[in-house]
Structures are given as C-alpha cells and as structure tokens.
Amino acid sequence: MKKTTHVLLIAVVAICGMLFSQVQAAESTLDIVKKRGYLNCIIGNSFVGFYTVDESGNWSGMDIDICRSVAAAVFGDKNKAKFESVQWAQSFTSIKSGAGDLLSKGMTWTLSRDTSQGLDFLDTYFYDGQGFMVRKDLGIKSALELKGATVCVLTGTSSELNLTDFNRTNKLDLKAVVFDDSAVRNAAFFNKNCDAITNDRSGLAAARSSAANPKEYVVLPDTISKEALSFAVRQNDSAWANVVKWTFAALLEAEELGINSQNIDSIRSTTKNPVIKRFLGLEGDLHKGLGLEADWAYQVIKQVGNYAEVYNRNLGPGTALDLDREGTLNELWTRGGLLYSKSFR
C-alpha cells in the first residue's frame, strides 16, 4: 500500500511540474518583462552602426536603439534595456529558452529561420544585400572575377549559404574560409588570409571603416542576395509581438507625421490633428490593446527619436558607415522606399 501511495505521489508531482511548465510557457513575455523590470536584448559581438560597445561598456547602434525604444514603450524608460552579446550559433536558442526577450542583431529574415527556429520575425528595419570586398590593388572590378579565390565568411549565416549558391551558379571554384566571430573574420581578411570577404553590404562598410587604411579596400558592385535585416521574438507570443512590432511602427509613423524628439512636446501641446492625438495617446484607447500606458508612443519618440533620427545618428552621412538613405529601399514609402507604418487606428 505504501509503495502504491509513493508511486502515486511521484506521478502527482510530475503532473504538477508539467502543468507549471505549461503555465510558464503560456505566460507572455510582456508579463515576464514587466515583472522582471527590464528588457533582455540579444545582440552580436560588434557590428559598427548596428551594435558596438565602447571602453566604458556603453552600447550604441541601430539595433540598440530599437531595443531601447521597446523599453521606452513598456517602462517609459529607454535605459531599462540590457544587452546580451552572443555568437551567431546561440542567437536562436537564447530567444527560445527565454534567456532573451528580443533578437535584434542584424539578422536576415529567411523562411527556414522563421519556420524552424522557434522565432517569429516581425518587421524589417533595414533592407540590405550581400556583396564582396577586396583589396583595391588586386584590380578586381566584379565578383565574377574571383575565380579560385579564398573568401572569408561568417559560419552559420545566410552569407555562407548565399556564397555557396553564388559559387555553384557561376562555377567560380571559390574556397570559403569560415569563422564564428566577425572580428576574427575581419582581421583574417585585413591580414591577407583571404582574397575577399563577403557579408551584407552594410557589414562590409562597417568592416572597411575599422581598417587601418579604409581607402585600400573596395566593395564590389555585385549584390548577390536580398538581406532583410529584421528583429524577432519567441514564436506564438502575440501579446509581446504586438508590443515590439507597434513600437517599431511608431518610429516610422512619427517620421511620416513630421514628429521628432525635438518638436514632440510642442506638437503634443498644440495639435488639433486627430491622427496625431491618437498616436500620442491624447485621445482614444489604442494603448489598452497593447497593455501599455497611454503615452507609450510619446515616450518612444521623446527618448529615442523617430526612424530618421535613429538612422542618421547610427548609419547616415557623417557616421562610420556614411550610408546615404536617399534613393534607397530604406526610405519611407512616400519617398520611394519600402518603409511603411501600419495604421494607428
């Protein structure tokens, strides 16, 4: 009888454990983040313009600003975002395991990642394409002239797969030299351990900016892929996904409406525009559907800025990357680009 009771007790404990795990799994990341008091953002080691850290441990970059904008939306404080730097291979498991709340590290949105890695990609914040960089003294004008060349590439990335496709399609007999750390990959290229380096074109610009003499290197004109740099969250968590994607939409909406971090207080106190009033939480109750405070969008723009401000201070003219936004896919839809805020209604 005692043995039977003991077995039943073990079974009950096991079932309770399973139920507790299911409750944990069912809890939205939004609730977890609010209880914890800060946001955990998963980023990479270093990607100039997107995420870099200074000697004092302060992070900056476009991905950093996206994370801070979500913290501003949830807490009204952009500084309640913490950053976890991981290797590419750990990116997916960090989100699936709950170690991270938001993946924002220059990750390309692909079908396989979207369907097999336990992630939901939400929006594209930077449209890019893969290219090649070589030393200028090689005299190469096109990637099609790289026959038999060695190419430095980061392993476990879409860049590695695209390089394989490009090589097979054009029968170039390229030799991939793989690395799991972007800094080591870049150093290998600059030390002439590879004839070329391949990455997203923004990544190549970032790498060139860190060279001892950037003018010694040229990014070839070829673009061999579509690279939609996007952020992602844990799969099947709509409450959290809504907060993250609408926070990004707020960056775009503010730019469309001509609102930035400098003029938002003036506009907020004088506007009669019902669209702006809804956006800034002055009327309506859109915030309730997100589980946020009424002024969440105001906090995002006041503390972080609109999309143009984020782009210009991290990627734009005068920065290390010096990427002019005009005429690119990264412009607003009203100026010929692909960036488009959904309706705040």
Domains in the chain and their CATH numbers? 29-128+228-335 (3.40.190.10), 130-225 (3.40.190.10)
Which pLDDT score is estimated for 87?
83
Quick one: tokens of 132? Answer: 């090649």
Which pLDDT score is estimated for 156?
85
Q: Which residues contact 29 (CB under 8 A, 6 or more apart)?
A: 98, 101, 233, 234, 237, 239, 240
Question: Are 84 and 40 in contact, with CB atoms under 8 Å apart?
Answer: yes
Q: Is the pLDDT of residue 15 over 80?
A: no
Question: Are 82 and 41 in contact, with CB atoms under 8 Å apart?
Answer: yes
Which is more confidently placed, 91 or 151?
Answer: 151
Per this entry, what is the length of the chain? 345
pLDDT in tens, 287-307: 999 999 999 999 999 999 999
Question: Are 100 and 40 in contact, with CB atoms under 8 Å apart?
Answer: yes
Which pLDDT score is estimated for 92?
87
Count of CB atoms situated within 10 Å of the CB of 230: 23
Task: Say what the pTM is.
Answer: 0.85
pLDDT in tens, 238-283: 999 999 999 999 999 999 999 999 999 999 999 999 999 999 999 9
Distance between alpha carbon 105 and the CA centroid of its chain, in Å? 4
Q: Read off the pLDDT of each residue in 315-343 and give the average, rounded to a whole number.
A: 95
Which pLDDT score is estimated for 103?
96
Residue corresponding to tokens 């904008």 = 69
Percent of residues, the chain, with pLDDT higher than 90:
83
Query: Taking all residues of the chain, what is their mean pLDDT, rounded to a whole number?
Result: 91
Which pLDDT score is estimated for 271?
97
Which pLDDT score is estimated for 25?
54
Q: Is the pLDDT of residue 40 over 60?
A: yes
pLDDT in tens, 194-230: 999 999 999 999 899 889 999 999 999 999 999 999 9
Q: Is the pLDDT of residue 129 over 80?
A: yes
- Lowest mean pLDDT across 15-19, 31-35, 135-139: 15-19
